[in-house]
Amino acid sequence: MEEDDKVRISKKWLQQLSRGVGSPVDVSTSQSLQVIHAQKGIMRCCFVVSERLTDGNGNWHVGAMATLIDNIAGATVHSFAGQIRPTLDFSMSYYSSPKVQEEVEIEAKVVGEKAKLTSVLIEIRKKENGEVIGLGKQWTASNNYAGRGSELWTALNGNHNASSARSKL
């Protein structure tokens, strides 16, 4: 697979999630996501926090935030490696809480690769003032069967009916 194809497919998958194509959890946490920059091993996105993704205090729910970050990191790894790789280790540090309708910028960057492992660093910042909202670290592993049945896998294979595919993890 050509490098440009890896980036194009990764970007397309995130765009499809934001338009409502994908699993219900991934779609619900990705609506309003915009990919503003994509290259091998780097994804930059903007996101507006919707009311349905907030906790009882009106803050972006940390679970919704983590789901979105995991998807962006996964697409970033695919743009780098041309494979969907399962997450082995994922950690988030939260520093502040964006509110409803607040716009954030998210940058995911591949920062290392060793054997079958790939590491991604994710930064979330308030767009208005650059304040750090959270930092994420993720490790993924190469696996010949990883991701079959996911929307990204079906996009890679030209099959747009993701529900017909079954996972072989």
| Position 156 confidence tier, pLDDT thresholds 50, 70, 90 | low
Task: Look at residue 50 and tell me if it is in a domain.
Answer: yes
Retrieve residue 54's tokens.
Answer: 């907030």
Task: Look at residue 60 and tell me if it is in a domain.
Answer: yes
Q: Which domain covers residue 136, as residue numbers?
A: 1-143
Element (H, E) at 105: strand 103-114
Task: Look at residue 156 and tell me if it is in a domain.
Answer: no
Task: Look at residue 148 and tell me if it is in a domain.
Answer: no
Mean pLDDT, the chain, rounded, equals: 87
pLDDT in tens, 81-132: 998 888 999 999 999 999 999 999 999 999 999 988 999 999 999 999 999 9
pLDDT at 147 over 80: no
Task: Look at residue 36 and tell me if it is in a domain.
Answer: yes
Q: What CATH number should be reported for the domain holding residue 11?
A: 3.10.129.10
User: Regarding predicted confidence, which is higher, 169 or 120?
Assistant: 120
Task: Look at residue 161 and tell me if it is in a domain.
Answer: no
Task: Look at residue 166 and tell me if it is in a domain.
Answer: no
DSSP at 79: H
Task: Look at residue 168 and tell me if it is in a domain.
Answer: no
Looking at the structure of the chain, the number of domains it has is 1
One-letter amino acid identity for 168?
K
Q: What is the C-alpha separation between 165 and 84, in angstroms, rounded?
A: 15
Q: What is the C-alpha separation between 8 and 40, in angstroms, rounded?
A: 10
Q: Which of 24-33, 118-127, 143-152 has the lowest mean pLDDT?
A: 143-152
Q: What global pTM score does this model have?
A: 0.84
| Position 158 confidence tier, pLDDT thresholds 50, 70, 90 | low
